[in-house]
Amino acid sequence: MICDPRITIITSTFNCADALRRTSQSIRMQTYNNIQWIIADGASTDGTVEVIKESKKIVSNWFSEPDRGIYDAWNKACRLIDGDWVLFLGAGDLIDSPDVLQNIANHCGTLDDTVVVIYGNVLLKKPDGTQRYISRKPTLNYFEFGRPALPHHQGVFQNRRLFSDFESFDSSYRIAGDSKFLLIAANKGRFTHIDCIVSAMIDDGASNDYKNIFATQREIGRICLELGIKVPYLHKILIDTNRIFHYIGNRIFLGKYKIYAQRFLDKIRQ
């Protein structure tokens, strides 16, 4: 492995100037300098492009044009990768501390070529910025959410050789395309866990919105079918039941259900 690896960060944006500015600051604070930051903007009109230009000292490549969703934007950015390891960081996501990328780079030098993914922990926060829980997954030998367990992509460093020159992510997916990418990667090499917090993220993505719960379920089911993944029958029953209760709870009890459910789940996760 390369002792001083180049780390590529890819961020897709659309009308998120303030969030991008926070992400930029966390990258700017890194003590490790061998970084390529690619920003794929979806033709923002709110000042996001101006924030990109303000960050030109740390932004290596950027473009602003219409896209067909996050995975289409990522695919465009992937064609510009010149790093050895690739991290996808959303606008508003923060690299947890100034020495994170240095620690990752140091760890890379200890690995052999069978490792295709390095992943750490991710701190999940509420929209008001308070902590929910830290996602730690030292092993991935179990099922969750109707598919094999996967780390949060905000804590995952993927080896460059996993990316093609054409379409690395299946852009026919709207929500779970990154899950499909990682499940395919798991058949190409080893995943290794580093017990450190890589990033902090607000837990408000499309896959967590109860309105998308059945769309997410359909996409995950389609992935498992395409990849020949056999999900244990009991797990399928439990996850389907959980989704139904989650949806009904949000529709009937709205915010109160979500607050109480999150508190209960976060205590279990901690």
- 11-49: per-residue pLDDT in tens? 999 999 999 999 999 999 999 999 999 999 999 999 999
DSSP codes of every residue in 69-132: SHHHHHHHHHTT--SSEEEE--TT-EESSTTHHHHHHHHHTT--TTEEEEEEEEEEE-TTS-EE
Quote the tokens at residue 48.
Answer: 């996001």
Q: Is the pTM of this model over 0.85?
A: yes
To the nearest whole number, what is the mean pLDDT of the chain?
89
Distance CA 149, CA 184 (A): 13
pLDDT digits (tens, 9 = 90+) for 3-13: 799 999 999 99
> CB atoms < 10 A from the CB of 108, how many?
20
Quickly state the pLDDT bin for 206 (edges 50, 70, 90): very low
- The residue-averaged pLDDT of 244-250 equals 71
pLDDT of residue 242: 80
Residue 232 has pLDDT above 70, yes or no: yes
Give the domains, in start order, of the chain with CATH numbers: 7-205 (3.90.550.10), 214-269 (no CATH)
For residue range 103-119, list pLDDT tens digits in order. Answer: 999 999 889 999 999 99
Q: SS3 of 142, please? A: coil
Count CB atoms within 10 A of the CB of residue 167: 16
